Amino acid sequence: MSIMQMNGGSVIAMVGKDCVAIASDLRLGNQSLGISSKFEKIFPMTDRVYVGLPGLATDVTTLHQQFRYRLNMYTIKEEREIEPETFAHLVSSTLYEKRFGPYFIEPVIAGLQKTPSGDLKPYIAATDLIGCLNFAKDFVVAGTASDKLFGVAEGLWEPDLEPEDLFETIAQTLLNAVDRDAYSGWGAVVYVLTKDKVIKRELKGRMD
Ligand SMILES: *[C@@H]1O[C@H](CO)[C@@H](O)[C@H](O)[C@H]1NC(C)=O
């Protein structure tokens, strides 16, 4: 049993039309034994930068605190909020710094990036456990159901989805993928980030 699969859990992020979505399951397990169905893996870093941290549960907590600390230092020094792309590189260097004894986490970043003209454009990225960045134009996945998420997302995603359609797409992708993974599931949470609001919805899922 790999340590990456010890506690289970999965995260996915998708790009829409002027919006972005990130979703995760809520399971925490001790291998195949379900322990909690309230274990959130997605954290807001700013109003428009969210990070999902699937992997080893102790490292979810450790890295969340580490990112919050590094983010506060950035905000104080720069006197401005961090952009999603910059945050993705902060995540990457935090993990690469510990590459010979890594945190067992595969972060997923979703946010709205300020362009030079002043409007907000969707941004998603994911890294492996040593911080190798993957910038995708459509969707990124991570966690124990990542292979299933790739399959379903490849079938359901399409370009320029409006916020409500993006919600439905990411919700159905996640729910159907985690039903085929014993280590993910037990409920889900979806965030949809738009220009003027963030929508958070908790979803019921199969409890077996
Ligand atoms: C996980 O379960 C095993 C028994 O199957 C137990 O020995 C171990 O202490 C449990 N781990 C945690 C972190 O509770």
Report CA(6)–ligand 1 centroid distance (Å): 10
pLDDT tens, residue by residue, 27-79: 999 999 999 999 999 999 999 999 999 999 999 999 999 999 999 999 999 99
To the nearest 10°, report the CA torsion of 44, 49, 53, 59: -70
The predicted-structure confidence for 93-148, as pLDDT tens digits, reads as follows 999 999 999 999 999 999 999 999 999 999 999 999 999 999 999 999 999 999 99
C-alpha–C-alpha distance, residues 112 and 42, integer Å: 16
Cα of 147 from ligand 1 centre, angstroms:
27
Residue 42's SS3 state is strand
Q: 54: CA distance to ligand 1 center in Å?
A: 20
- Compute the distance from residue 33 Cα to the ligand 1 centre, in Å: 9
Residue 43 CA to ligand 1 center (angstroms) comes to: 27
Phi and psi based region of residue 89 (left: phi greater than 0; alpha: psi -120 to 50; beta: remaining): alpha
Query: Which numeric CATH code is attached to 3-203?
Result: 3.60.20.10
**From ligand 1's centre to the CA of 32, what distance in Å?**
11
Q: Which pTM value belongs to this model? A: 0.97
Termini Cα distance of the chain: 21
- Can you tell me whether residue 132 is helix, strand or coil? coil
Instruction: Report the separation in Å between the CA atom of 29 and the middle of ligand 1, taken as the mean of its atom positions.
Output: 10
Helix (H) or strand (E) segment spanning residue 190: strand 188-194
Domain residues of the chain, as ranges? Answer: 3-203
